[in-house]
Amino acid sequence: MNSQRVVVVTGGASGIGLGVSQLFARNGHPVAMLDVQEGALARESAALRDQGAKVLTHRVDVTDRAQVEAAYAAVRDNLGPIAIVIANAGISHAADFQTLPVETWQRMIDVNLTGVFHTIQPALPDMVAAKWGRIVTISSQAAQSGAQDRAHYAASKGGVIGLTRSLARELAALGITVNTIPPSVVDTPLAQESVRTGQFPSLDIISQAIPIARPGTPEDIAFACEYLCSDKASYVTGQEINVNGGMYI
């Protein structure tokens, strides 16, 4: 892989996004970690810089187009044109659909779906100019199988899958591939919070429903991103790459 290519990761301060940022940074890529959690960004980026990585952080709420564009301007100035985007930032929580407040529905769509739109669209001019780009969205098994008490979450992630497939068609001739990874259960702060609040059973119990009997790790997802963003994956686009231990087949 050409390790000079600049990588943007949203939700880079925690969980899957952090694991992806760490892998690309250790592979020698300049990495921009964008997130709303400034403290975690500072802590995690310092650890990577101590290991010699070239990392930029920016506080970005992906629902705010102006914040994304300001961050991308800083990325271009400090690291160079954007070649790889991992649209990962997301939220999830359980709520009964019958009493779901409109605001809760809207917030889920704003972060998980419109946030992906804001993350991808302003990065495209760099990829078009380079005639090369890689985009990976992080969706969810919830959109594949449906999810009890997470209709709003599953709907947002279904939108991400439809967006991914459509962009794959639209951007293929420009040298840009677009794929999605829909994880099932990955051991991250988000999953642990769902267990802590009783929205998920314990990860040990969930593991009984996973053929490869453990939750995924951020690194499991990062390895798939590494492949999808490599030159070796130039013929892979519009795909759902299920990195899920066989939980959904």
Ligand X SMILES: NC(=O)c1ccc[n+]([C@@H]2O[C@H](COP(=O)([O-])OP(=O)(O)OC[C@H]3O[C@@H](n4cnc5c(N)ncnc54)[C@H](O)[C@@H]3O)[C@@H](O)[C@H]2O)c1
Active site residues: 153
Q: Report the alpha-carbon distance of residue 127 to residue 148 in Å, rounded.
A: 38
Cα-Cα-Cα-Cα torsion 185, 63, 13, 209, nearest 10 degrees, comes to 0
The residue within the footprint of ligand X, chosen from 20, 36, 225, 247 (CB under 6 A), is: 36
- Scan residues 104-133 and list those touching ligand X (CB under 6 A): 111, 115
Contact status: 155 vs ligand X (CB under 6 A): no
CB nearer ligand X, residue 118 or residue 134: 118
Distant-in-sequence, close-in-space partners of 50: CB < 8 Å, separation ≥ 6: none
- Scan residues 160-189 and list those touching ligand X (CB under 6 A): 183, 185-186, 188-189
Token couple for 48: 């990577």
- Scan residues 89-108 and list those touching ligand X (CB under 6 A): 89-92
Task: Kindly state the number of chain residues that form the binding site for ligand X, as judged by CB under 6 A.
Answer: 30
The residue within the footprint of ligand X, chosen from 9, 15, 79, 155 (CB under 6 A), is: 15
Distant-in-sequence, close-in-space partners of 200: CB < 8 Å, separation ≥ 6: 185, 191, 194, 206
3-class SS of residue 244: coil
**How far lies 207's CA from each of 54, 204, 244, in Å?**
36, 5, 11
Contact status: 30 vs ligand X (CB under 6 A): no
Q: Interface with ligand X by CB under 6 A: which residues?
A: 10-11, 13-17, 35-37, 60-63, 88-92, 111, 115, 138, 140, 183, 185-186, 188-191
